[in-house]
Structure 1
Amino acid sequence: MDVASVLSNVAKKQNILKLLTVLQLTAYLWPPDATLKDGESADFIIIGGGTAGSIIASYLVKHKNISVIVIEAGGMGEFETQQPGLYPFLAKTEYDWKFTTEPDVTMKPPNKRIIQQGKVLGGCSQIGFAGYGIGHPKDYAKWAAITNDSSWTLENLYPLIKRTEKVTDKTILNSPDVVFHGTEGKLRLKKYHSGINDGFFEAYKEMGIDVLNDINSNHTFGYTNSFNTIGDGNRQSTAYSFLSPERENPNLKVAYHSLATKIIFDVNKRAVAVRVLTKDKKYITIYVKKEVIVTAGAFKSPQLLMLSGIGPRYHLESKRIKVISDLPVGQNLQDQPSTVMVYKMGPKRPVPPQNPHELPTQLMEGRVAIDKCQNRADYLIRSSLFLTNLSFLQACSFIFNIRNEVCDRLQKALSQRQAHLVTHLLLYPGSRGEVLLRSTNPEENPIIKPRYYSNPRDLERHAEYLEHYNRIVNTSYFRRLDAELVDPGLERCKGLKKGSNAYWKCYVLGMASTLHNYVGTCAMGSVVDSELRLIGVKRVRVADASVMPEIVGATVQGTVYIIAQKLVDILFKEYNLSTH
């Protein structure tokens, strides 16, 4: 078995799943497709029914006098988006924007890289790997300092977290850690406790790293079984958890396969309407009575704003776009650079049939600091044990986009052994990228330049942290299994002494990947204010990952929920809406 045969198998399964959409097995879950008329209006227009947009819409429509139109570029979720076990087949499908980056000269080789972002109701919460986490208290304290608004500290955000979560894991519910979580919210969260990760936890303890019941404000460093947005056998996307219960609410209209192409402002710089390209390829204008809320994500939100005249003057004028507000839209792009490490573990053993209602692997999460006296972790680990050739090769090539020939070499070296696949994320990178307009055509994806490791210190740090993690090979558990790091045989690294600083730096660049934690392109403090209002204009707010001024030390999706809930509170106060 090689990557080519695995990718062929993936394509066949994707085609089979696509045939299931004809049956509309999950259509009953979602708001019906609204046919919008040119000139109609609503109190709020939400651009992007993704992770944040679904939450915000679900709260606003509960008020009897509020009308909401959601403009969603993708479609409804289908059978495969609802089954947690099928997430490996969702990349590069109609549910994915299929963005690609520009060739990155800081990477080796400097190829274009594939970015997965949800193009479906529920957004990334509907197609990602269902991981969940909240950042370190200092992350949000920095936001509060940037915005000069203490309401963004984690202490003040906890009520929003608790309002969102419905933790069902008994190890949390029956422990002191429950005080950091919600138990009555709509988003079900669970952990897996099969014992398959116990050997790794034993190794981490031997390395002097705590094994935790939960990572929270009291326990910021250590390893634990990951939280997953899964409950009752279903993926707990925000579309499913929040918006689905409002699917018959007459205050809500969702226009699927419709693209917002421009926000229209009057002479006083007040947003008055949104130009929309419908699924029938017709342009219509929808008028707004109160506010336009942009929740299209870290790439499409800045693209829409720039097409609407909000962005860097020099860039907009180069595209002959009239400048309405000169702001650094599209700048400050951040992600957590990720490097894939593969360890040869114990012998393969029979694997039971996969349950599509559960994740195919059981994830661990670790947040590790080189110096335990410091405040925040240096790196984050997401890892799991892969028991079959098929699952490993699919993850290596199709999900993490490692070059096919490298994945084949790794698989050959694994032979009949299990694989511990580690994604090693550098937290708090200093490098910054940007998003630019490719053209004034709203259907053309923007230019994306992540510029990973453009700050040389990031590469030095990441290499050091890989070496720090690799101490695991010296633990008793790894020695019992004769486990080892599999050398991927990178051409550029030949001749370098394995384990040397030069080798690890070469390894970082050659095995680079991403978990798609993109943020910062409409940042608080420079593009929006602390109440998420777009600076320099009126009646527009942005509320998605793009508003994070600095990336948090966790999977960012959990923080997107917080941002959405924060805007709900702001809007309810602003318009004297009834409490929720």
Structure 2
Amino acid sequence: MEAISQAVSSFTKVQNILNMLTYLNLAAYLWPQPANMNIKGGESFDFLIVGGGTAGCIVASNLAQMNVSVLVIEAGCQPTIDTEIAGLFPFLKNRNFDWNFTTVEDSTKKYHRGGVTEVEQGKVLGGSSILNYMIYGTGNCKDYKDWANITNDSSWTYDNIFPLIKRTEKVIDSRILQSSDVAYHGTQGKIALKKYHSSTNNGFYDSYKEMGYKVVNDINVKNPLGFTPAYFTISDSIRQSTAYGFIRPEKDNPNLKVMYRSLVTKVLFDDNKRAIGVEVLTNDRKTITLYANKEVIVTAGPFKSPQLLMLSGIGPQDHLESNNIEVISNIPVGQNLQDHPTNVIIHKLGVVQPVSPRDPHQFPVNVMDGRVAINKCQNYADYQVLSGVITNSTLFLEICLYTFTFTDEVCARIVEQTSNHQLHFITHRLLYPESRGEVRLNSTNPEDSPVIDPKYYTNENDLERHAEYIEHYNKIVDTSYYKSLNASFVDPKLESCDGLEVGSKAYWKCYTIGMSTTLHDYVGTCAMGSVVDSKLRVNGVKNLRVADSSVIPQIIGSSVQGAVMVIAQKISDLLQEEYGL
């Protein structure tokens, strides 16, 4: 366990140094200055935006350019220098940029610290685009067709959504720019996208070809399946958060104001169920009321958005009444929670490499993105693989202990079997789970964390499929490249799998549950079709909309960051059209 102690000590020292930089707030001049002192209770703005997160920053920026007054009410702080340096992302967790939520205990988290999942949810201007792993995806044609069918609104089909994707993206990868694939991306948007091309991964691509998969320049509408270098929201070593791309250019726009460290505790309605404003707990612990001339836009994320709606009287009647909350609209807020169940797989490579100093300006792993369909006639993936080579135990332990929060014992057992060897670190994601979780109120105190229950694998079909897909992928160990390295699967020796033959179907099912984790793609808790309509208006009330990952009715076949940006662009267009802006 000495390696564990050293990794913990090293990680803690770096976090302590970064916390000191946070207190200095050296980057404050780059962002809109706090409007807290200048805003008094009773003031009104054309639009109140609740939560300056991934979506909220885009909506605020777009509206502020339309000559209307916009107030963003953000519970967190301004981004600090360390949040922008791409390679420092592992050190942002469990700090004041994060709500630090956890899920309820369940059997899939037996081998995680505390028996729960530590949920990453941004509490900072830029939201989770400040905290996430910067891996970008927008889904596929099937995903948006499903949304259009659910909402009975063809404006959500891929052909109609693509202009919004193009408006957002700024692909800077030279290989894409010089290929026909550039037609499927934007090049003039505000979120820069790049790939890390590395010869280190060539052998893995050879293995994928040997397994019958395509290796492609880009995964897009033309090529929805195959393996390719992953897209990252990174440019010149700087994280491309929506705060960086959309808010920073508007920091001096007089139409845009931002209140920091201020929590919206309730949406207020008149007798006609029209949202007229919000109640805010300010940074100096005062409660004030602010009013919206036009609309209140909730962009607080998949956990805080449903929590706020329920505290405001919008949600399941029985749950609200059990908390003595007057019901304004009886709709299934908090239901339909979805995520991509994710498994960690470790392969030991027969390669020893000296440890090189980490470059904080670079993402620490050259990630490959693979989308695989079991049915060869299918044009969308059943599972996604995000993987890369880890060259030393220290980096592995940081990822194992802190990014994925596995227990010391699990991480130590893997290190014992792989000491001084490179690892192929694989996250294997079930893209279309059938299980549905929920978010509930823990209390009527808006500062309390909501109850988050993802209910992973509660639909038995999810477990059957994911175990099958993991077994399917693990055949890579039989390829020529793997054999040339004398590479092998690393069994973490989970106690619950004792006595099961490694590689058997029973073993893979046990493994799937035990090594389950998440990449934090939470969606669905204020879903289109049940909680909001296709124009993102909350059902049963007026002048209130939601626009973040919570409105996604069915999870998409990739990371959700790009889709959230699309939703933000969509609501911006809807508001512009409705109000003639």
TM-score (norm 2): 0.98
The correspondence for 1:45, drawn from 39, 45, 48, is 48
1:351 CA displacement? 4.3
Q: Which residue of 2 aligns with 1:29?
A: 30
Q: Which residue of 2 aligns with 1:179?
A: 183
**Runs ≥4 residues deviating over 6 A:** none
1:416 CA displacement? 1.2
What is the aligned residue count? 576
Equivalent runs, 1:152-301 vs 2, <5 Å = 152-301=156-305
Letter in 2 for 1:498: V
2:306 paired with 1:305: no
1:232 CA displacement? 2.3
Q: Which residue of 2 aligns with 1:467?
A: 471
Equivalent runs, 1:44-443 vs 2, <5 Å = 44-64=47-67, 66-105=68-107, 108=110, 111-443=115-447
**Cα distance in 1 between the residues matched to 2:139 and 2:547:** 18
Letter in 2 for 1:21: T
Structure-2 change in CA distance of 1:105 and 1:400 (3 Å): closer
Q: Which residue of 2 aligns with 1:20?
A: 21
Q: Which residue of 1 aligns with 2:514?
A: 510
Higher mean Cα deviation, 347-356 or 104-113? 104-113
**Cα distance in 2 between the residues matched to 1:106 and 1:475:** 31
Q: Which residue of 1 aligns with 2:10?
A: 9
**Cα distance in 2 between the residues matched to 1:22 and 1:511:** 36
SS at match of 2:385: strand
**Cα distance in 1 between the residues matched to 2:169 and 2:575:** 21
**Cα distance in 2 between the residues matched to 1:212 and 1:254:** 43
**Cα distance in 1 between the residues matched to 2:474 and 2:398:** 24
The correspondence for 1:554, drawn from 547, 558, 572, is 558
**Cα distance in 2 between the residues matched to 1:155 and 1:351:** 47
**Cα distance in 1 between the residues matched to 2:4 and 2:330:** 47
5+ residue gaps, structure 2: none
Task: String of CA shifts for 1:253-291, please: whole Å, max 9, x gaps.
Answer: 111111000000000000111000011111010111000
Letter in 2 for 1:83: I
SS at match of 2:571: helix
Task: String of CA shifts for 1:400-454, please: whole Å, max 9, x gaps.
Answer: 1122100000011001100111010011000000000000000001001110000
**Cα distance in 1 between the residues matched to 2:134 and 2:454:** 23
Contact 2:46 2:295 (8 Å CA) reproduced:
yes
5+ residue gaps, structure 1: none
Higher mean Cα deviation, 350-359 or 188-197? 350-359
Letter in 1 for 2:580: N
Structure-2 change in CA distance of 1:352 and 1:105 (3 Å): closer
**Cα distance in 2 between the residues matched to 1:234 and 1:113:** 28
TM-score (norm 1): 0.98
**Cα distance in 1 between the residues matched to 2:26 and 2:239:** 15
1:105 CA displacement? 4.4
Contact 1:49 1:296 (8 Å CA) reproduced:
yes
Contact 2:148 2:157 (8 Å CA) reproduced:
yes
1:155 CA displacement? 1.0
Letter in 2 for 1:61: A
Letter in 2 for 1:406: V
Contact 1:348 1:417 (8 Å CA) reproduced:
yes
SS at match of 2:386: strand
Task: String of CA shifts for 1:105-135, please: whole Å, max 9, x gaps.
Answer: 4655692221111111101111111100111
Contact 1:3 1:394 (8 Å CA) reproduced:
no
**Cα distance in 1 between the residues matched to 2:123 and 2:372:** 33
Contact 1:361 1:384 (8 Å CA) reproduced:
yes
Contact 1:312 1:327 (8 Å CA) reproduced:
yes
Structure-2 change in CA distance of 1:235 and 1:109 (3 Å): closer
Task: String of CA shifts for 1:545-577, please: whole Å, max 9, x gaps.
Answer: 000000000000110000000011101101111
